[in-house]
Structure 1
Amino acid sequence: MVLDPELRMAIDVFPCEDGHAHERSLFESVLHTIKAGELWIADRPMCTQGFLFGISTASSDFLSREHKTLPQRAISELQFLA
């Protein structure tokens, strides 16, 4: 389910016949709905390289809690921008 924070309601739902399917199996369907300029906020289960790169490829941004298995490294120190 995708929640629109301004409307405070679900705007997309991705049903699946298999009640035991992992939510990651639906990521491809979700990626097709992403529009340029959006900010996607997600929890750790959504934090996979493929999903995050898919958001970036769609010219959108993401904010996600880090999943411990996501390979990453800092490219620079964080900087405050006013």
Structure 2
Amino acid sequence: MAKRVNSASLKGKLDIDWALGSGILTETTKDGDFEYDLFKLIEEFNGKAITISIKEEDTLPTIDEYNVSDESDGTEEEDFFKED
């Protein structure tokens, strides 16, 4: 069966103020920052059958960030050949 799809794709920082009824998504590109009204965008889909997907992107810690001990200023090596 044939389908027609109307979609919107945004990527940026989301700031929602529920008290003011404001939802702004700020996209940062090499050309500058662009703001979009998330609630206005969602209103275009009001009353229609939709699919919503939201994901968060974040950086992962490096190996050094995992291995730093409170007692030293660097990584510690474990002795795997030590006899009990």
- Determine which structure has more spread, i.e. the larger CA radius of gyration: 2
Normalized per residue, which structure has more strand?
A: 2
* TM norm structure 2: 0.20
TM-score (norm 1): 0.20
Higher relative contact order (CA 8 A, sep 6+): 1
